[in-house]
Structure 1
Amino acid sequence: MRGTVNRVLLGLIGLVLLALGGSVLAVGLGAPAPSWWIHDSRHDVLLDDSERTQWRDETWWWPVVLAVLTVLVVLALWWLTAVLRRHRLAEVLVDTGDGAGALLRGRALQSVLTAEAAALDGVARAHVRLTGGRTAPRTRIRLLLEPQVNPSAALDRLTAEALTHAKDSAALDGLPAEVRMKSVKHRAERVS
């Protein structure tokens, strides 16, 4: 969901900036100004003296301008860090017992956990994502269960088998998991 929102927002902002930048370039190169353009010719300045000094005597003007610009910068930085932040764990630090340690690829542990969870009885499909830090990973697991499966029993098997195997094989103290389960919905079929 967040990826879709990011793409839509980036697309809209890109289109607006492209339209404004393209029209500024076109008018600067001598093309006729669009009907919505705020100036008449290519020799007009963006803000003339009267527009620039119009609000100078108002005491509220500059604090409002600075507050709006500060909020825009903070929102842009927040959005940038949210987009650039890794949502998947790249590697897990495994304690080998000799004090050196080893690195286990996060995708390898993810794929093994996914395969083992999908192989459980009554699980139609499984999706696992590793999050957290390299020394304290966490898992987010989505299971698609067959209609006849008891969710409590499926969760017990997942905990006792797949999660315990992953925790033991990576020599982790714990492997917290957030598990979301959904049941498969089959369409009604006609029997003739």
Structure 2
Amino acid sequence: MTAVLRTVNRVLLALAGLVLLVLGGSVLAVGLGVSPPSWWIHDGPHDVLLSDARRTRWRDSGWWWPVVIAVLAVLLLLALWWLVAVLRRRRLAEVLVDTGDGEGAVLRGRALEDACAEEAGRLDGVARADVRLTGRRTAPRARVRLKLEPHVDPGAALDGLTGGALAHARSSAGADALPTEVRLKGVGHRAERVT
């Protein structure tokens, strides 16, 4: 999914840049005296892009303003979606492991996440564990979410996580350190009727 978003992002940036370059370059060229083709949007250096007649042509039609507002709203939503997709923290696809022989090995990020989450999920009182790797290939970071049973001491669960699953993940990745953000949340149980 990240490769698709990266490709879409690059294509959209390239298209936007190309459109702005062509339009800006043509306006500059016409302003400097180059005569444009007959089908172009303006004729010469003293011509305006939108004349009063073109600008006010549809103003009195009842459908004009709702369509303009709807198109602008859709463009705004697409721009916000694009911004969120670009700024969102992405998962680390792979971790580069130094094998010590001058070569390197690649460890799939998803495999390391799954192994760490499975080991953390086996800790006493942990109902569910989710692990996500972020950062760079050579300097991974981890984000862990643990859902704890009500009887568990959060400090003991955190000690078990750091001494077990995270220590094993750090050694598997061949990293000196694995900075980790851990979020602990209690599992809510539904009330049962006692008769």
Same fold (TM over 0.5): yes
1:191 deviates by 3.0
Report what 1:160 is aligned to.
163
Between the aligned partners of 1:186 and 1:86, the Cα distance in structure 2 is 31
Between the aligned partners of 1:148 and 1:113, the Cα distance in structure 2 is 23
Report what 1:169 is aligned to.
172
Report what 1:150 is aligned to.
153
Between the aligned partners of 2:115 and 2:50, the Cα distance in structure 1 is 65
Q: Provide the aligned length of Structure 1 versus Structure 2.
A: 127
Is 1:49 equivalent to 2:55 in the alignment? no
The amino acid of 1:176's aligned partner reads P
Between the aligned partners of 2:104 and 2:84, the Cα distance in structure 1 is 31
Is 1:91 equivalent to 2:94 in the alignment? yes
Q: Flag the 1:52–1:161 CA change in 2: closer, same or farther, 3 A.
A: same
Q: How does 1:177-192 map to 2 (within 5 A)?
A: 177-192=180-195
Between the aligned partners of 2:55 and 2:83, the Cα distance in structure 1 is 37
Q: Flag the 1:185–1:86 CA change in 2: closer, same or farther, 3 A.
A: closer
The amino acid of 1:140's aligned partner reads R
1:53 deviates by 8.2
Which runs of 4 or more aligned residues in structure 1 lie more than 6 Å from their structure 2 counterparts after TM superposition?
Answer: none
RMSD: 2.7
Is 1:80 equivalent to 2:47 in the alignment? no
Is 1:108 equivalent to 2:111 in the alignment? yes
Instruction: Give unpaired runs (5+ residues) of structure 1.
Output: 1-46, 55-71
Task: Report SS of the residue matched to 1:127.
Answer: strand
Q: Flag the 1:50–1:174 CA change in 2: closer, same or farther, 3 A.
A: same
Of all paired residues, the percent bearing the same amino acid is 64
The amino acid of 1:181's aligned partner reads L
Q: Flag the 1:157–1:48 CA change in 2: closer, same or farther, 3 A.
A: closer
Between the aligned partners of 1:99 and 1:124, the Cα distance in structure 2 is 42
Task: Report SS of the residue matched to 1:125.
Answer: strand
Q: Flag the 1:48–1:141 CA change in 2: closer, same or farther, 3 A.
A: closer
